């Protein structure tokens, strides 16, 4: 029986991600030692794109060496490390290289030169760390799909075909050498936002595992309450939803981000949310691992972040373990101690899709939508539902391969409560 992995997205305590400009490996080791002491087994790291590739044809050797140094430092503490490469956005700030913006403005998804440059960086970053024994793999970037359309204020628009070409081009730049996973990760517009160019089939079929990011500030908490069943089961639902679009029923799902945001939760509710959410999530047979967002609170000496960003860490800005950190460590250990894997799920809610397996209405999958509601109603009734597409539902062979013996069709269309922005009022005010 393979137990899921438990780790954290590493936010440096000293200097936030700006520390990539001048890494202090002693400070990094201090942070990583504390993370390892919680009993976690991996970190996900985020070198900024302009630091790695300040010119379209310049990849800085020193920057690659710095990434290798952080991965090595993680290994010294007994932690595995996953690396994100095209790191253009973080915590409401964009970090794009100058050769993509203003006077040189072009489209990272569709411009041939930009695509070649990103592929070269992806290849170079993999090669810089792939021989290290604690290297987990490479993610193309953190929620890069947010650049591809609304609500981004200056989107680089792409069609679904262009989005797929971007993903495939960068994935193929990483040699299939067996040295680490190759994957990409989108925020939840891929599942919930109609007309979004990144589609569920992209997320669930391209790369080695499916990556999902589960946040309840997407309308779930606002509609149902932050500690409601719908909120604490959102990550579980998203895991099962992602499986519907995978052609391989056994494809692993990696929850790369989940957090306890205080723009939804009341102070003190974070540990309960964490433990309930992870316990539900661990009831999925597909779960590869959980990577909590994030390791350390943003220090309040840094200006202009949305308020919730200052409180998301397992550790505070002084490096002290918070109750949330202890709760995550405890629930991780509880899951590891389980003697038997969860059984497969035999009941499924059906998602209507077109001939290309695109949902007819992604809003139906979102919080408040008919598919979301049907799944949550079954879960609240004590069932263990999963999700299948209407294509799968029409094939007895495909249903049998997934162990599905009962189907449920959502009634009506529901009313989506989905929001693609975590803190719309704060962002509109300049996050001040």
How sure is the predictor about 178, in pLDDT bands with cuts at 50, 70 and 90? confident
How sure is the predictor about 63, in pLDDT bands with cuts at 50, 70 and 90? very high
The CA distance from 283 to 280, in Å, is 5
Q: Are 311 and 322 in contact (CB under 8 A)?
A: no
How does pLDDT run across 288-312, given as a tens digit for each residue?
999 999 999 999 999 999 999 999 9
Tokens of 268: 């003190």
Report the first-to-last Cα separation within the chain, whole angstroms. 48
The CA distance from 339 to 216, in Å, is 30
Mean pLDDT of 73-93: 95
Check residues 391 and 411 and name the one with the higher pLDDT.
Answer: 391
Q: For 7-11, 87-91, 202-206, which range has the lowest pLDDT when averaged over its residues?
A: 87-91
Calculate the average pLDDT of the chain.
95
The CA distance from 129 to 67, in Å, is 8
Q: What local confidence, expressed as pLDDT, does residue 427 receive? A: 36
How sure is the predictor about 177, in pLDDT bands with cuts at 50, 70 and 90? confident
How does pLDDT run across 47-59, given as a tens digit for each residue?
999 999 999 999 9
Q: How many CB atoms within 10 Å of residue 272?
A: 17
pTM for the predicted model, two decimal places = 0.96
Q: How many CA atoms lie within 13 A of 205 on its CB side?
A: 13
Q: What local confidence, expressed as pLDDT, does residue 426 receive? A: 39
The CA distance from 183 to 186, in Å, is 10
Count of residues for the chain? 432
Q: Which domains does the chain have, with CATH numbers?
A: 5-336 (3.20.20.80), 347-409 (no CATH)
Q: How many CB atoms within 10 Å of residue 123?
A: 18
Instruction: Supply φ then ψ for residue 316, to 5 degrees.
Output: -80, 180
Instruction: Supply φ then ψ for residue 78, to 5 degrees.
Output: 80, 20
How does pLDDT run across 248-282, given as a tens digit for each residue?
999 999 999 999 999 999 999 999 999 999 999 99
What letters, b where the CB count within 10 A reaches 16 and e where it falls short, cover 231-257?
bbbbbbbbbbbbbbbbeebebbbbbbb
């Amino acid at each position: 029986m393979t137990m899921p992995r438990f780790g954290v997205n590493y936010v440096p305590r000293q200097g936030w991600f700006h520390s990539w400009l001048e890494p202090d490996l002693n400070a990094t080791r201090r942070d990583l030692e504390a993370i390892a002491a919680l009993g976690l087994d991996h970190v996900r790291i985020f070198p900024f794109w302009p630091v790695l590739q300040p010119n379209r044809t310049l990849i800085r050797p020193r920057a690659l060496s710095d990434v290798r140094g952080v991965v090595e430092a993680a290994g010294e503490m007994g932690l595995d490390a996953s690396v994100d490469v095209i790191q253009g956005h973080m915590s409401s700030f964009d970090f794009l290289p100058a050769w993509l913006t203003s006077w040189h403005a072009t489209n990272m998804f569709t411009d041939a030169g930009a695509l070649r440059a990103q592929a070269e960086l992806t290849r170079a970053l993999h090669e810089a760390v792939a021989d290290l024994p604690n290297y987990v793999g490479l993610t193309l970037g953190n929620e890069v799909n947010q650049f591809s359309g609304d609500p981004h204020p200056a989107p680089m628009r792409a069609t679904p075909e262009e989005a797929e070409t971007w993903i495939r081009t960068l994935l193929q730049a990483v040699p299939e050498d067996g040295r680490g996973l190759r994957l990409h990760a989108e925020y939840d517009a891929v599942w919930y936002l109609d007309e979004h160019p990144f589609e569920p089939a992209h997320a669930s079929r391209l790369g080695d595992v499916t990556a999902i990011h589960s946040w309840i500030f997407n309308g779930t908490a606002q509609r149902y309450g932050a500690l409601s069943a719908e909120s604490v089961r959102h990550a579980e639902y998203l895991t099962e939803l992602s499986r519907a679009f995978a052609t391989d029923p056994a494809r692993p799902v990696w929850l790369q981000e989940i957090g306890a945001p205080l723009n939804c939760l009341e102070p003190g509710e974070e540990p309960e949310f964490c433990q309930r959410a992870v316990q539900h999530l661990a009831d999925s047979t597909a779960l590869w691992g959980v990577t909590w967002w994030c390791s350390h609170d943003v220090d309040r000496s840094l200006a202009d972040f949305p308020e919730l960003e200052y409180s998301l860490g397992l550790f505070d800005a002084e490096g002290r373990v918070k109750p949330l950190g202890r709760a995550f460590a405890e629930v991780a250990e509880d899951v590891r101690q389980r003697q038997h894997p969860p059984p497969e799920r035999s009941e499924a809610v059906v998602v209507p899709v077109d001939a290309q397996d695109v949902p007819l209405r992604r809003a139906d999958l979102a919080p408040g939508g008919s598919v979301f509601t049907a799944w949550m109603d079954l879960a609240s009734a004590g069932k263990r539902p999963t999700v299948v597409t209407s294509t799968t539902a029409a094939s007895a062979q495909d249903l049998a391969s997934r162990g599905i013996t009962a189907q449920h069709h959502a009634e009506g269309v529901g009313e989506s409560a989905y929001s693609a922005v975590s803190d719309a009022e704060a962002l509109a005010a300049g996050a001040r």
